[in-house]
Amino acid sequence: MKLTKILAAATLVSGLATAAVAEDPTKVGFVYVGPIGDGGWTYQHDQGRLAVEAAYGDKVETVYQENVPEGADAERVLTQMALSGADIIFTTSFGYMDPTNNVAAKFPDVKFEHATGYKREHDNVSTYDARFYEGRAILGTIAGHMTQSNKIGYIASFPIPEVIQGINSSFLHAQKVNPDVEMVVIWAYTWFDPAKEADAAKAMIEQGVDVILQHTDSTAPLAEAAKTPGVIGFGQASDMAEYKPSPRVASIIDEWSPYYVKRVGEVMDGTWENGHSWGGMAEGEVVIGEITAPVPADVKAEAEAMVAAITSGEYHPFTGPIFKQDGSVFLAEGEVATDLQLVQMDFYVQGITAEIPQ
Amino acid sequence: MDLSAINPVVLTASLMVAATPILLAAIGELVVEKAGVLNLGVEGMMIIGAICGFAIAVETQSPLLGFIAAALGGAVLSMLFGFMTQVLLSNQVATGLALTLFGLGLSSLMGQSYVGIKAPSTPSLNLGPLSDLPVVGKILFSHDLMVYVSIAIIAGVWYMLRYTRTGLVLRAVGESHDAAHALGYKVIRIRLLAIGFGGACAGLGGAYLSLVRVPQWTEGMTAGAGWIALAIVVFASWKPWRVMIGAYLFGGITVLQLNLQAAGAKIPVELLSMSPYLITILVLVIISSDRRRAALSAPADLGKSFHASL
C-alpha cells in the first residue's frame, strides 16, 4: 500500500527531525508573574531572555509563560516545562519559591533558578537577586532634595525583606539630605494591578505627597502623578522612558541580561553549580536611568557621585549609624550591614512612623 | 495616626472615579441578567473595551471617539456570546468564561503596539460656578463626562425597567421566556439586544480604566474588575440604584483603605486590604439571609437556554 509507505516515511522523517532538534539546543524556560507588556518587572526579565537568544543564537531555545499565579498553578507550569525538556528554568518572582523547590525535587537533571528567593533545598536549585537597595539609595537622595511638602510616598507590594530594604534605603538617604522628610507607605498587596496602583498614588497625592517611589510593576503611578503638576516619580524595574522628563525624573532598572547569559552559558558547558548570586551596580544588574531636567544639576551630580561610589564598592547604602524604628541600634558608627542582616530585614529604620504588616 | 489628612470631600470625589468602571459594567450586566441571560464574560468585554477605546483615542486623539469605539468593541464581542448561547444554545456559564479568556488574550494581541503610549487626557467638564461651590462643587460638579454618563445610564435603566413597556417586555423574557414567547415576543432578539447593551456598558467601563482612571494600556489591566461587577449585580438584587450604591460602596472602601494606610492608621493592613471583599461578602450574606426574598429578586429564567420548539 502506497499510503502506509508514505505515512511510515513521514513518521520516520519527523522522528528524525525531532531527534535532531532535541539533541541540539539548550532549552531555557522562563516563568513570568505578569505580562511581558507590563513595562516593568516582567518586561525586563524578558529582555534578559532575548539577550540569551541573541548571545547563543541557534544553540538555545527559549520558552516562557506569562501571568503565572504564585502558588499551585506555578507548580503545574513548572512541571510542564520540565517535562517538555527544559534544561534550565528561571522562575522570576518571590512567590515561586516553594513551587520551584517542589518541582526541582522531581526533576534532578533540570536546573532551576529562582529570583529574589532564599530557599535552595536541592542541588539543582539556585537563587539570584539584585541589590535593588543600592538603586533605592539614589532615588531616595533625589526624593529628599526634590520634595516641597517633605512627604514622600512608597507604594509597596508585599512585606518581604527585599521591599523593606528598599523602603529603608530610600528613606535613610532622603533623610540624610532632608532631615524633615516623612515617608508614607501604602501596601498594595500586589505586584501588578494598574488600577490599584493608580488609586494608591492618588490617595498619596491627596494627602500631600509630592514624590512617589513605587515597588509595584506598572506605570500607573507615574500616569497618576502626571495629572498633578509638581508631583514626580521614578521608573521602576524598567526605564519607563515614556514619562520623561517629568513626572519620571529617574529610574531604577533591573538588568538581568548579564546573569542570564552567564548562567545559560554555564549550563551549556557543564560548569553550572548551585548557589546564590546577589549582583548590584558593580555587576551591572542595577542601573539608574537618565536623571532628567526637573532635577537640579547639583542634585544630579550628587546622585551620580553616589552611583560611582556604590559601583566602586567605596560606599554601602547601609552604613552605620543606623537605628531601628524602636530606637535600638541596628548598625554602629561606620559598621556596614552584612548580607545576612539585609536578607533578614524585617523592621523599619528610625523615623518611619508606620508599622510593617505581619 | 493623622486622620485629619484625609479630606472626606476629596475622598468622596475620588471614590466616584474609582467606582465608575465597575458601575458601568455592573449596570450592563444587570440588564443582561434581567433578560434571563447570565454572561460571565464581563471581564473579557471590559478589557476589549479598554484596548479598543485606548487605541482609537490614541489614533484620533479624541477620548470621545475612544469611548464610542469601546462601546462598539464590547458590543461586538458580546455578540459572539449572544450567537453561541442564543442561536447555537451553548451553555451560558461555559461560554461566558470562555469569553473572558478570549477577551483577555485578544486584547493583549491588539494592544501589542500600544504598550507605553500615553492617552490623550479626558478633561473634566467645566461647569463654571457650580464646580466652585464648596463641598458639593468638588463632589458633584468636578468630574469628567463619563461619571455623569454612568449615573445617567443607571437612571435610564431604572426608568426603562420600571415605567416603560420595553422594560416590562425585557423582564417578562427574563422571568419566563416561554410565557413571553407565547405572547408573541421575540425572546432571542430581545436577549441579543440586552447582551449587546451589556457588552457596550462593559466596554465603556473598560475604556474608563484605560482612558481616565489609570490612564494607559497594560495587559490584564482590568485585574478582576469584571468579576466584582458580577458580584455587585447580585449584591444589588438586580435593582439599578442599588447597583450604584454597591459600586460606590466597593469603590469607597477601596479608596478609603488606601487613604487610611497613607494616613498611617494603626489598623492591620491585611484587614484593610480585604475589607472591600469582606464587606461585599457580609452584605451578600445579609441580603440572602431571607431566602425567599433573594430567590424572588433573581429573574426566574436566569441562565436557562431558550428554544422556540422546546
Is the predicted pLDDT of residue A21 greater than 90, yes or no? no
Preferred mutation among B24, B108, B221 to probe A, highest tally of A CBs within 10 A: B221
Residue A296 lies in a domain: yes
Find the CB nearest B218 among A37, A185, A187: A37
Contact assignment for B254 to A199 by CB distance below 8 Å: yes
A88 and A230 fall within a common domain: no
Is the predicted pLDDT of residue B309 greater than 70, yes or no? no
Q: What is the number of structural domains in chain A?
A: 2
A190 and A94 fall within a common domain: no
Q: Which residue has the cell 503611578?
A: A221
Find the CB nearest A187 among B223, B259, B269: B269
> Residue A287 forms beta bridges with which residues?
A253
Of B159, B154, B181, the closest CA to residue B169 belongs to: B181
- pLDDT category at A12 given cuts 50, 70, 90 is very low
Was domain B3-297 assigned CATH 1.10.3470? Answer: yes
Is the predicted pLDDT of residue A255 greater than 60, yes or no? yes
**How many CB atoms are closer than 10 A to CB B62?**
15
A182: domain CATH number is 3.40.50.2300
Provide the pLDDT for residue A2. Answer: 53
Contact assignment for A39 to B218 by CB distance below 8 Å: yes
Provide the pLDDT for residue B14. Answer: 85
A294 and A205 fall within a common domain: yes
Provide the pLDDT for residue B114. Answer: 86
B168-178 mean pLDDT? 93
Q: What is the pLDDT of residues A199-253, one digit of tens each?
A: 999 999 988 999 999 998 888 899 889 888 889 999 998 888 888 888 999 999 9
Provide the pLDDT for residue A19. Answer: 44
Number of residues in chain B: 310
Residue A358 lies in a domain: no
- Give residue A320's domain range: 132-253+288-343
A110 and A197 fall within a common domain: no
Q: What is the pLDDT of residues A102-138, one digit of tens each?
A: 999 999 999 999 998 888 999 999 999 999 999 999 9
Contact assignment for B273 to A187 by CB distance below 8 Å: yes
- pLDDT category at B148 given cuts 50, 70, 90 is very high
- Work out the burial of residue A203: count CB atoms within 10 Å of its CB; fewer than 13 is exposed, 13-18 middle, 19 or more buried: buried
A124 and A6 fall within a common domain: yes
Residue A352 lies in a domain: no
A102 and A166 fall within a common domain: no
B202-219 mean pLDDT? 90
Provide the pLDDT for residue B278. Answer: 80
A59 and A6 fall within a common domain: yes
- pLDDT category at B207 given cuts 50, 70, 90 is very high
Contact assignment for B262 to A207 by CB distance below 8 Å: yes
Provide the pLDDT for residue B284. Answer: 65
Provide the pLDDT for residue B95. Answer: 95
Is the predicted pLDDT of residue B215 greater than 90, yes or no? no
Residue B242 CA to residue B246 CA, distance in Å, equals 6
Residue A118 lies in a domain: yes
Residue A357 lies in a domain: no
A292 and A227 fall within a common domain: yes
- The alpha carbon dihedral of A179, A184, A189, A193 has a sign of negative
Q: What residue ranges in chain B does DSSP mark as E strands?
A: none
Q: What is the pLDDT of residues B177-191, one digit of tens each?
A: 999 999 999 999 999
Return contacts of B228-232, CB within 8 angstroms, 24+ apart: B228/B22, B228/B280, B229/B22, B229/B25, B229/B26, B229/B29, B229/B42, B229/B46, B229/B202, B229/B205, B230/B26, B230/B29, B230/B40, B230/B42, B231/B280, B231/B284, B232/B22, B232/B26, B232/B280
Contact assignment for A204 to B262 by CB distance below 8 Å: yes
Provide the pLDDT for residue B298. Answer: 83
Percent of chain A at pLDDT > 70 equals 94
A88 and A188 fall within a common domain: no
Q: What is the pLDDT of residues B46-79, one digit of tens each?
A: 999 999 999 999 999 999 999 999 999 999 999 9
Find the CB nearest A357 among B214, B255, B270: B270
A273 and A328 fall within a common domain: no
A273 and A238 fall within a common domain: no
Contact assignment for A35 to B14 by CB distance below 8 Å: no
Find the CB nearest A203 among B209, B223, B262: B262
Q: What is the pLDDT of residues B81-125, one digit of tens each?
A: 999 999 999 999 999 999 999 999 999 899 888 877 777 877 777
